[in-house]
């Protein structure tokens, strides 16, 4: 177990890095030493409520792989850093991971799109690999990033379709003030208007990270929903601001039968800090829920409970995304016969691995994966009951069909195209990276 291993701490200017070595040590990274896996998740600050669990999961997956013999006959060595929910520190620490004495072969990390945007130019400049496990806004493509979380067409759009089928006519789009909520809501506004929703039937509001004073905003939502037409909240509120938001809904007596909330950033981990009894019936849209009935899921939950030593430990969607991404990376390294970045980038396209819901996920040429889409209702035990599931896995789109600036774009990182912004109308590869 990790607690019985020698712990080596590296103090760097950007923060504290902890390398947990397995097996033989080597001063330089070579084909005889360990294969180093970077883990870049906030363990402090506003995002720790969500990200610290992903760090622990990655340590579990690495430990399991080492117990099974490692990779290419070598042990995996995790290198853990804490960017403290500071987007600039994500970039600094990613650079340290890719250039320091404990240079890593791959990074698993980030949660917010703001942190991913900060890391993107670093991994491109230094030719690193980042596996990003959280739902995001799309409008981006990088040869050095693999997006294992949901794109908008794998979460946001199906959620709106589901609510429309339930008769919702008015829409309150509430988000944290950064790139993911703003771009996702830009896509959703365009989608809603394409389906005949008027401007006056869309309310949009953004709040800072860690926001806690929800009384007036929830009151506005209540007024917005009191016009005699069915109203729903689409929530892209992120991090620990969710706890006071849901508490205020309860304080003001807003139930799911009045104004249902569908969240894109609230899962089992976030609900573990909330009295969920008043929230029964509110929803979340994800690609995995802990309550999914499959042998693979039960095995994963059992392993997680045993690893944490906590019978109440919960799993969630970003954990499944890391599980899928890690196994895809393992398979690509095995296939390539090396953890070298360029070889892995070529080998991973088309790789298919089991997911936790009883099916499989495939890495597509646009560096997104196929995933089922699910909508779950909050139960009084903090779990979700799946009320809708897509009939088959959905391939993620890097570029939205609903924004004029991206509707003609595709991404394909296979040779000979190797283009993240290929315009199918002009048949040219465009420069640039999309939304800021």
CATH number of residue 266's parent domain: 3.40.50.2300
Contact assessment for residue 120 and residue 433, using Cβ atoms and an 8 Å cutoff: yes
User: For residue 4, is pLDDT > 70?
Assistant: no
In a 3-state reduction of DSSP, which class is residue 282?
A: strand
Report percent pLDDT > 70 for the chain.
91
Residue at 120 is within a domain: yes
Q: Tell me the torsion sign for CA atoms 354, 418, 37, 372.
A: negative
Residue at 428 is within a domain: no
Of 30-34, 281-285, 421-425, the poorest mean pLDDT is in 30-34
Of 26-30, 270-274, 412-416, the poorest mean pLDDT is in 26-30
Residues 126, 93 share a domain: yes
Report percent pLDDT > 90 for the chain.
83
Residues 185, 164 share a domain: yes
Q: Which of 389, 421, 396 is nearest to 140 (CA)?
A: 421
Please state, rounded to an integer, the average pLDDT across all residues of the chain: 91
Contact assessment for residue 146 and residue 174, using Cβ atoms and an 8 Å cutoff: no
The model's confidence at residue 12, banded by pLDDT at 50, 70 and 90, is: very low
User: Omega of the bond prior to 96 within 30 degrees of 0, cis?
Assistant: no
In a 3-state reduction of DSSP, which class is residue 132?
A: strand
In a 3-state reduction of DSSP, which class is residue 248?
A: helix
Q: In the chain, how many domains are there?
A: 2
Of 12-16, 209-213, 240-244, 330-334, the poorest mean pLDDT is in 12-16
Return the pLDDT at 273: 67
Residues 378, 245 share a domain: yes
Residues 110, 35 share a domain: yes
Return the pLDDT at 86: 96
In a 3-state reduction of DSSP, which class is residue 139?
A: coil
User: For residue 77, is pLDDT > 50?
Assistant: yes
Contact assessment for residue 407 and residue 400, using Cβ atoms and an 8 Å cutoff: yes
The model's confidence at residue 158, banded by pLDDT at 50, 70 and 90, is: very high
Report the C-alpha gap between 55 and 124 in whole angstroms.
Answer: 23
The H-assigned helical ranges of 281-418 are: 295-308, 317-336, 341-348
Report the C-alpha gap between 76 and 95 in whole angstroms.
Answer: 20
Residue at 170 is within a domain: yes
**Residue range of the domain that includes 282:** 153-293+374-395
Q: What is the DSSP letter of 431?
A: P
Return the pLDDT at 19: 42
Residue at 207 is within a domain: yes
97: number of CA atoms within 13 Å, CB side? 38
The model's confidence at residue 150, banded by pLDDT at 50, 70 and 90, is: very high
Residue at 429 is within a domain: no
Residues 340, 311 share a domain: yes
User: For residue 2, is pLDDT > 60?
Assistant: no
Report the C-alpha gap between 42 and 58 in whole angstroms.
Answer: 13
Residues 286, 332 share a domain: no
Report the C-alpha gap between 226 and 203 in whole angstroms.
Answer: 13
Residue at 280 is within a domain: yes
Cα separations in angstroms, 353 against 47, 100, 330: 29, 32, 10
What is the mean pLDDT of the segment spanning 103-119?
A: 96
Phi, psi at residue 53, to the nearest 5°? -65, -35
Q: Which of 367, 385, 363 is nearest to 376 (CA)?
A: 385
Return the pLDDT at 31: 67
Return the pLDDT at 264: 93
Phi, psi at residue 375, to the nearest 5°? -120, 125
In a 3-state reduction of DSSP, which class is residue 79?
A: strand
Q: What is the DSSP letter of 397?
A: P
What is the mean pLDDT of the segment spanning 77-87?
A: 97
Return the pLDDT at 206: 98
Give the Cβ contact number of residue 303 at 10 Å.
Answer: 15
Contact assessment for residue 352 and residue 360, using Cβ atoms and an 8 Å cutoff: yes
Return the pLDDT at 22: 33
Of 27-36, 54-63, 168-177, 213-222, the poorest mean pLDDT is in 27-36
Residues 330, 287 share a domain: no
Residues 187, 267 share a domain: yes
The model's confidence at residue 276, banded by pLDDT at 50, 70 and 90, is: confident
Contact assessment for residue 335 and residue 347, using Cβ atoms and an 8 Å cutoff: yes
What is the mean pLDDT of the segment spanning 216-221?
A: 97
167 backbone φψ class: left, alpha, beta (φ>0; ψ -120 to 50):
left
User: For residue 5, is pLDDT > 70?
Assistant: no
What is the mean pLDDT of the segment spanning 36-48?
A: 95
Return the pLDDT at 434: 40
Residue at 83 is within a domain: yes
Return the pLDDT at 32: 76
The model's confidence at residue 247, banded by pLDDT at 50, 70 and 90, is: confident
Of 275-279, 323-327, 370-374, the poorest mean pLDDT is in 275-279
Q: Which of 96, 99, 75 is nearest to 26 (CA)?
A: 75
Return the pLDDT at 241: 87
Q: Which residues of 357-380 are buried (b: 16+ CB within 10 A; e: fewer)?
A: beeebbbbebbbbbbbbbbbbbbe
Return the pLDDT at 365: 98
Residue at 410 is within a domain: no
In a 3-state reduction of DSSP, which class is residue 215?
A: helix
Q: What is the DSSP letter of 50?
A: H
Q: pLDDT per residue over 328-367, tens digit each?
A: 999 999 999 999 999 999 999 999 999 999 999 999 999 9
């Amino acid at each position: 177990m990790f607690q019985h291993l020698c712990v080596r701490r590296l103090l760097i200017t950007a923060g504290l890095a902890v390398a947990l070595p397995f097996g033989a040590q080597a001063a330089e990274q070579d084909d005889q030493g360990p294969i180093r896996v970077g883990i870049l998740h906030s363990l402090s600050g506003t995002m720790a409520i969500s990200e610290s669990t992903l760090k622990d999961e990655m340590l579990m997956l690495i430990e399991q792989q080492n117990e099974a013999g490692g990779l290419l006959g070598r042990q995996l060595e995790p290198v853990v850093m804490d960017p403290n929910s500071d987007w600039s520190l994500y970039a600094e620490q990613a650079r340290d991971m890719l250039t320091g004495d404990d240079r890593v072969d791959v990074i698993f990390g980030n949660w917010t799109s703001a942190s991913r945007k900060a890391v993107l130019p670093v991994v491109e400049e230094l030719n690193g690999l980042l596996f990003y496990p959280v739902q995001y806004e799309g409008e981006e493509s990088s040869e050095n990033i693999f997006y294992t979380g949901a794109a908008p067409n794998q979460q946001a759009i199906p959620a709106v379709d589901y609510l429309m089928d339930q008769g919702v006519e008015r829409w309150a789009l509430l988000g944290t003030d950064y790139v993911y909520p703003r771009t996702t809501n830009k896509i959703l506004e365009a989608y809603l208007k394409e389906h005949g929703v008027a401007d006056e039937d869309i309310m949009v509001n953004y709040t800072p990270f860690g926001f806690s004073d929800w009384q007036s905003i929830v009151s506005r939502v209540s007024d917005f929903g009191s016009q005699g037409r069915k109203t729903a909240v689409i929530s892209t509120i992120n991090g620990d601001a969710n706890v006071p938001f849901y508490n205020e809904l309860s304080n003001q007596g807003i139930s799911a039968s009045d104004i249902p909330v569908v969240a894109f950033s609230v899962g089992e981990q976030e609900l573990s800090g909330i009295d969920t009894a008043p929230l029964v019936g509110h929803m979340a849209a994800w690609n995995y829920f802990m309550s999914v009935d499959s042998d693979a899921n039960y095995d994963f939950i059992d392993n997680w409970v045993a690893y944490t030593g906590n019978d109440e430990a919960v799993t969630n969607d970003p954990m499944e995304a890391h599980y899928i991404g890690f196994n895809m990376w393992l398979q690509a390294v095995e296939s390539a016969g090396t953890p070298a970045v360029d070889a892995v980038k070529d080998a991973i396209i088309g790789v298919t691995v089991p997911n936790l819901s009883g099916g499989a996920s495939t890495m597509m040429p646009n560096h997104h994966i196929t995933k089922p889409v699910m909508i779950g209702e909050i139960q009084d035990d903090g779990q979700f009951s799946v009320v809708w599931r897509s009939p088959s896995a959905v391939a993620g789109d890097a570029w939205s069909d609903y924004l004029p600036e991206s509707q003609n774009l595709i991404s394909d990182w296979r040779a000979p195209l190797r283009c993240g912004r290929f315009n199918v109308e002009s048949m040219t590869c465009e420069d640039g990276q999309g939304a800021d």
